[in-house]
Structure 1
Amino acid sequence: MAYLLGFFIADGYIASQSQSIAFTQKDPTILEEIKNVFDSNQPLYKNKNTGVYSLLFHSKIMKNDLQTLFNITSEKSYNITFPIVSEQYIHYFIRGDFDGDGHVNIWILC
């Protein structure tokens, strides 16, 4: 789950007006793997303008957990802080963030 948290921080989205979260990515392969982790049959959506795929979950519980446990909001691009991740799982978190964004932000190195 640390990998998914890192990936979500890099390429995830929390809807401000609904009980939804989404994982986004240009390559659908990783989103298919995330579907398998969640044992979901939710289809992927492709934005016709950008070519970006989204895996959308309508879950009040998932949204609430991301907000309360990790302080991730719909404005995460502007106010994200490094989450508390157990040292034994930190490398999974960093890999997830890297797979999502393709680079490591300076806040990860602090």
Structure 2
Amino acid sequence: MTTPQLTTLEADGWMIDDGEIAHAENPDNFWIPPLNDRQSLEPGSIVKIRFYIRAPNDSGDLVDHGERMWVQVKERHGEWYLGTLDNDPYCTDAIQAGMPLWFQPRHVIDIDRG
């Protein structure tokens, strides 16, 4: 098993945002699911996570883009989830559906109940 770790903009060109911090900074406008729900995800669950992706714009300059994307939970390892991206971002082809990523309950900003 790969050791769980988070990506960074500097090293990987993308990262995921901490939804708990965003909620704490603006609780009236940034809802997140209850902690118990975020801590009890099972394989097959679909969750939304905020991504920041560094990609070139039309003139070739690197720009940070924010996107909210769906991730499917594949495994749980202690405080970590291993998931796969369930859709493609708009700003780049370098990240695509099926890409594996590690995350924690604090990163989850929504849960697909459908």
> Structure 2-normalised TM-score?
0.23
Which one has the bigger strand percentage?
2
Larger Rg: 2
Which one has the bigger helix percentage?
1
